[in-house]
Amino acid sequence: MANITNPPAGYRSWGSFCYLNPSDPACEDIPGFYGYDISLGANAALLALFVISLIGFIGTFAATRRGKSFTFAFIAGVILEILGYAGRLMSYKNRFDENGFLMQICCLTIAPAFLAGGIYLCLRRIVYAFGPENSRIKPETYTRLVSPSFPGSALSHLLYSDTWP
Protein backbone atom coordinates (compact mmCIF):
# COMPACT_ATOMS: atom_id res chain seq x y z
CA MET A 1 0.00 0.00 0.00
CA ALA A 2 1.28 3.44 -0.94
CA ASN A 3 1.92 6.24 1.49
CA ILE A 4 -0.64 8.59 -0.06
CA THR A 5 0.47 11.60 1.96
CA ASN A 6 3.81 12.01 0.16
CA PRO A 7 4.09 11.53 -3.61
CA PRO A 8 7.25 9.91 -5.00
CA ALA A 9 10.31 12.13 -5.40
CA GLY A 10 10.14 14.38 -8.44
CA TYR A 11 6.30 14.49 -8.60
CA ARG A 12 3.98 17.20 -7.33
CA SER A 13 1.16 14.83 -6.54
CA TRP A 14 0.09 11.21 -6.69
CA GLY A 15 -2.16 12.07 -9.60
CA SER A 16 0.75 13.24 -11.77
CA PHE A 17 2.75 10.13 -10.82
CA CYS A 18 -0.14 7.76 -11.52
CA TYR A 19 -0.97 9.51 -14.80
CA LEU A 20 2.48 8.51 -16.08
CA ASN A 21 2.57 5.14 -14.28
CA PRO A 22 -1.06 3.89 -14.10
CA SER A 23 -0.11 0.25 -13.63
CA ASP A 24 2.27 0.93 -10.71
CA PRO A 25 1.11 -1.01 -7.61
CA ALA A 26 1.31 2.18 -5.57
CA CYS A 27 -1.53 3.66 -7.67
CA GLU A 28 -4.07 0.97 -6.78
CA ASP A 29 -5.24 2.89 -3.70
CA ILE A 30 -5.14 6.33 -5.34
CA PRO A 31 -8.57 7.48 -6.55
CA GLY A 32 -8.82 8.56 -10.17
CA PHE A 33 -11.50 10.82 -11.62
CA TYR A 34 -14.16 8.16 -11.01
CA GLY A 35 -15.23 6.64 -7.73
CA TYR A 36 -15.52 3.22 -9.38
CA ASP A 37 -13.84 1.00 -11.95
CA ILE A 38 -15.02 1.64 -15.48
CA SER A 39 -16.58 -1.37 -17.21
CA LEU A 40 -14.89 -2.09 -20.52
CA GLY A 41 -17.66 -4.41 -21.73
CA ALA A 42 -20.59 -2.10 -20.99
CA ASN A 43 -18.93 0.98 -22.47
CA ALA A 44 -17.72 -0.89 -25.57
CA ALA A 45 -21.24 -2.29 -26.08
CA LEU A 46 -22.82 1.17 -25.80
CA LEU A 47 -20.21 2.60 -28.14
CA ALA A 48 -20.99 -0.13 -30.69
CA LEU A 49 -24.75 0.50 -30.40
CA PHE A 50 -24.31 4.22 -31.01
CA VAL A 51 -22.04 3.55 -34.02
CA ILE A 52 -24.71 1.23 -35.45
CA SER A 53 -27.33 3.93 -34.76
CA LEU A 54 -25.23 6.54 -36.55
CA ILE A 55 -24.87 4.30 -39.59
CA GLY A 56 -28.63 3.67 -39.52
CA PHE A 57 -29.52 7.38 -39.32
CA ILE A 58 -27.12 8.31 -42.10
CA GLY A 59 -28.35 5.41 -44.27
CA THR A 60 -32.00 6.29 -43.70
CA PHE A 61 -31.41 9.93 -44.52
CA ALA A 62 -29.42 9.04 -47.64
CA ALA A 63 -32.24 6.79 -48.85
CA THR A 64 -35.19 9.06 -48.05
CA ARG A 65 -33.86 12.64 -47.83
CA ARG A 66 -36.64 13.36 -45.34
CA GLY A 67 -36.62 14.82 -41.86
CA LYS A 68 -33.53 16.99 -42.18
CA SER A 69 -33.94 18.68 -38.79
CA PHE A 70 -34.65 15.42 -36.99
CA THR A 71 -31.75 13.68 -38.72
CA PHE A 72 -29.33 16.53 -37.96
CA ALA A 73 -30.34 16.57 -34.29
CA PHE A 74 -30.01 12.81 -33.92
CA ILE A 75 -26.74 12.55 -35.85
CA ALA A 76 -25.25 15.34 -33.70
CA GLY A 77 -26.50 13.65 -30.53
CA VAL A 78 -25.24 10.21 -31.56
CA ILE A 79 -21.81 11.58 -32.55
CA LEU A 80 -21.54 13.22 -29.12
CA GLU A 81 -22.54 9.93 -27.47
CA ILE A 82 -19.86 8.12 -29.49
CA LEU A 83 -17.24 10.67 -28.43
CA GLY A 84 -18.40 10.39 -24.81
CA TYR A 85 -18.11 6.62 -24.70
CA ALA A 86 -14.76 6.80 -26.50
CA GLY A 87 -13.65 9.09 -23.65
CA ARG A 88 -14.81 6.50 -21.13
CA LEU A 89 -12.79 3.84 -22.93
CA MET A 90 -9.78 6.18 -22.80
CA SER A 91 -10.35 6.46 -19.06
CA TYR A 92 -10.50 2.68 -18.78
CA LYS A 93 -6.95 2.48 -20.07
CA ASN A 94 -5.74 5.17 -17.66
CA ARG A 95 -8.14 6.36 -14.96
CA PHE A 96 -5.82 9.30 -14.22
CA ASP A 97 -6.01 10.71 -17.76
CA GLU A 98 -7.94 13.97 -17.58
CA ASN A 99 -8.59 14.13 -21.34
CA GLY A 100 -10.76 11.01 -21.38
CA PHE A 101 -12.68 12.18 -18.32
CA LEU A 102 -13.35 15.65 -19.75
CA MET A 103 -14.29 14.19 -23.11
CA GLN A 104 -16.90 11.88 -21.60
CA ILE A 105 -18.30 14.36 -19.10
CA CYS A 106 -18.81 17.10 -21.71
CA CYS A 107 -20.11 14.93 -24.55
CA LEU A 108 -22.40 12.73 -22.45
CA THR A 109 -23.89 15.82 -20.80
CA ILE A 110 -24.64 17.67 -24.04
CA ALA A 111 -25.74 14.73 -26.25
CA PRO A 112 -29.17 14.20 -24.65
CA ALA A 113 -30.16 17.79 -25.50
CA PHE A 114 -29.75 17.01 -29.21
CA LEU A 115 -31.58 13.70 -28.92
CA ALA A 116 -34.46 15.33 -27.02
CA GLY A 117 -34.57 18.10 -29.62
CA GLY A 118 -34.96 15.53 -32.38
CA ILE A 119 -37.81 13.88 -30.50
CA TYR A 120 -39.52 17.23 -29.90
CA LEU A 121 -39.41 17.92 -33.64
CA CYS A 122 -41.44 14.71 -34.16
CA LEU A 123 -44.28 15.72 -31.83
CA ARG A 124 -46.30 17.27 -34.66
CA ARG A 125 -46.25 14.02 -36.63
CA ILE A 126 -47.06 11.98 -33.53
CA VAL A 127 -50.13 14.16 -32.90
CA TYR A 128 -51.24 13.70 -36.50
CA ALA A 129 -50.80 9.92 -36.15
CA PHE A 130 -53.01 9.75 -33.03
CA GLY A 131 -55.45 12.37 -34.27
CA PRO A 132 -55.30 16.15 -33.83
CA GLU A 133 -58.61 15.99 -31.96
CA ASN A 134 -56.78 14.23 -29.09
CA SER A 135 -54.39 17.14 -28.53
CA ARG A 136 -55.09 20.40 -26.77
CA ILE A 137 -52.55 22.15 -28.99
CA LYS A 138 -52.64 22.30 -32.80
CA PRO A 139 -50.02 19.99 -34.32
CA GLU A 140 -48.26 22.86 -36.14
CA THR A 141 -47.82 24.70 -32.85
CA TYR A 142 -45.48 22.05 -31.42
CA THR A 143 -42.73 22.75 -33.92
CA ARG A 144 -43.13 26.52 -33.47
CA LEU A 145 -42.89 26.17 -29.70
CA VAL A 146 -40.01 23.70 -29.61
CA SER A 147 -37.74 25.01 -32.38
CA PRO A 148 -36.84 28.31 -30.66
CA SER A 149 -36.29 26.56 -27.32
CA PHE A 150 -33.86 23.97 -28.70
CA PRO A 151 -30.87 26.37 -28.98
CA GLY A 152 -31.65 27.57 -25.46
CA SER A 153 -31.66 23.98 -24.21
CA ALA A 154 -28.33 23.24 -25.90
CA LEU A 155 -26.89 26.48 -24.48
CA SER A 156 -28.05 25.63 -20.97
CA HIS A 157 -26.41 22.20 -21.24
CA LEU A 158 -23.19 23.82 -22.42
CA LEU A 159 -23.21 26.19 -19.47
CA TYR A 160 -24.17 23.42 -17.04
CA SER A 161 -21.39 21.15 -18.22
CA ASP A 162 -18.86 23.97 -17.85
CA THR A 163 -17.61 23.61 -21.42
CA TRP A 164 -18.17 27.17 -22.52
CA PRO A 165 -15.01 28.49 -24.22
The tens-digit pLDDT sequence of the chain (165 residues) is 445 678 888 888 888 888 888 888 888 888 788 878 899 999 999 999 999 999 999 999 999 998 898 899 999 999 999 999 999 999 998 888 889 999 999 999 889 988 988 888 888 888 999 999 998 888 888 777 766 666 666 666 566 655 544
Which pLDDT belongs to residue 159? 64
Reported for 38-45, long-range contacts at CB under 8 A and 24+ positions apart, including other chains, are: 38/88, 38/91, 38/92, 38/95, 40/89, 40/92, 43/85, 43/88, 43/89, 43/92, 44/89
Q: With left for phi above 0 and alpha for psi between -120 and 50, is residue 38 left, alpha or beta?
A: beta
- pTM value is 0.79
Which pLDDT belongs to residue 119? 86
On whether the CB atoms of residues 17 and 11 are closer than 8 A, the answer is: yes
Which pLDDT belongs to residue 105? 92
- Give domain limits for the chain: 1-30, 39-160
The single-letter code of the amino acid at 22 is: P
